[in-house]
Amino acid sequence: MVARLFIFLLCSGLERIEVASANTIYDSRENCNAIIETSTNTMVAGCKNTTIPNSVTSLGSSCFNTCTGLTSITIPNSVKSLGYYCFKGCTGLTSVTIPNSVTDVDRSFMHCSNLSTIYCYPVPYLNYVNNKINFGSDAEVKLFGGPIYDISLVKATPTTLTVQLNLNEDYLPVTEGENVGISSAQVYINDREIPSIGDNKYKVTGLAIDTQHDLKITTRYTDGNKADIVKTYRTLNPELTIQQPKCVSSTCAIVSATTHLSDDETSLGFQWKKYDAPESLKPNEAYAAVYNGTLEGYLKNLQPTSYYNVRAFYKTEEEGYYYSDWVTFDPSNYSYFEPTVHTYPVMAVTDYTATVRGYALAGTDEIAEQGFEYWEANGGAATPKMERTTAMATAEEGYQTVLATGQVMQAVLDNLKPMTTYIFRAFVRTESGTTYGEEQTFTTTIPESIGHVEIEETAPAISGYYDLSGRRLAGKQRGVNIVRYSDGTSRKIMVK
């Protein structure tokens, strides 16, 4: 057998190496001018004219040690490791490129005095900057081959992590040579793929409270290779701070608490009981909704002659309840309060539809009607809190209304125009008037079936106006109007 260390030490002029074809231990496949251990596909010795075959998986220790005649070498993607001192003293090398396949380098370029630059594809480059491999050289190490995606934390809650996918500006490739492109990028937790929620954001739900979690971003390249970055983030401890209730009548109260729980959380709410109730009496309990850091609920059927205690809770199947402190209130000490109305950002958008979500909580007056108003944006964008009369696409067409129910309400807006920006907002109507939520916008997409086309406006003509009972009107009147069109469709509008 051939010893693996220092086989041709100081043989700088050696030009040819050939292993006899009858040798069953070593070979010189593909006229590579080197010695390869057949069973392991490890190159154990080379010379200045060596080419590394694509079947070689590792370069053995000192296989090119002091081969000063070696001026360039191409390391193929099949190679996974560069052994100890494998290019030590190769003073003819001025630059070298390490492919993505290499994950192990052990001081392989010691005393390569003329080696000025080591170009790395993303995998060995990341291992180098994270001190997982050692080139053993003072040469400048540069990223080559393709950019690397990274993740940053957008928001952490007790059970969720939301991260943003970004190109890491510190790991952008050099321009020399031919770079590869990115074919895909994906975020994982425990090898489970996390779906995107849009805008390169990813949200993981159902996590353990106050626990560290490893998230991995995998960047895949057009050459078939990939690079991984792992980031560790911690979920939070639940925080619930109860606020003084707002008594809207002698029998009803709005209860609230501040929290860092996300709007998507559903396992939280309030518990309440009479102030003088025995300790053993189980409190009443109801779930509530969160909007932008505030948890709110509505208590009914209170007795005005009693004091009450209320507290917020967060419940998990694994760890049970988390509570705020109790707070005491008197239902008989009530005031007038308007409804609470909020508009969430759009949930989903297609070419002709949009799914919207809102929040409606009654005040003193009962809710008569609730839902969403929407209209085409004037000039393609909405101005926050723009008055409806100036935000409408046209005075003739007006805005449209869709009704919904529930404290957290949801509706689908259909028959929209493709590639059009709309404004929408939640509303609540009571006997005292209308209360609106925030204005949000969305833009419908290009129809997938026909690609990019110019949409020709062919709006149907108005055939008549009707009231809610179906009676035809001479023209538009103040209040709710039903507009019927020549194509048989109808639309509800509000005229002020």
pLDDT single digits (tens) 149-195: 888 999 888 888 999 988 887 787 876 555 667 788 889 998 889 98
Determine which helix (DSSP H) or strand (DSSP E) holds 388, and give its type and residue range: helix 388-391
Whether 197 shows a pLDDT value over 90: the answer reads no
Kindly tell me the burial class for residue 1, based on how many C-beta atoms sit within 10 Å of its own C-beta (0-12, 13-18, 19 or more).
exposed
- φ and ψ at residue 126, rounded to 5 degrees: -65, -40
Q: What is the mean pLDDT of the chain?
A: 85
DSSP 475: S
- Top pLDDT among 273 and 479 is at 273
Mapping DSSP to helix (H, G, I), strand (E, B) and coil, where does residue 170 land? helix
Tens digits of residue pLDDT in 387-442: 333 333 333 356 899 999 999 999 999 989 899 999 999 999 999 999 999 999 99
Query: Given the structure tokens 């929620």, which residue do they identify?
Result: 197
Residue 426: how many CB atoms within 10 A of its CB? 26
Mapping DSSP to helix (H, G, I), strand (E, B) and coil, where does residue 316 land? strand
The partner residues of 230 in beta bridges, in order of sequence, read: 216
Helices (runs of H) and strands (runs of E) counted in the chain? 2, 40
pLDDT of residue 382: 38
Cβ contacts of 54-63, under 8 Å, gap ≥ 24: 54/78, 55/29, 57/81, 58/82, 58/83, 59/83, 59/86, 59/108, 60/4, 60/86, 61/4, 61/5, 61/85, 61/86, 62/4, 62/5, 62/6, 62/9, 62/86, 62/88, 63/4, 63/7, 63/34
- φ and ψ at residue 229, rounded to 5 degrees: -125, 135
Rg (the chain; Cα; Å): 35
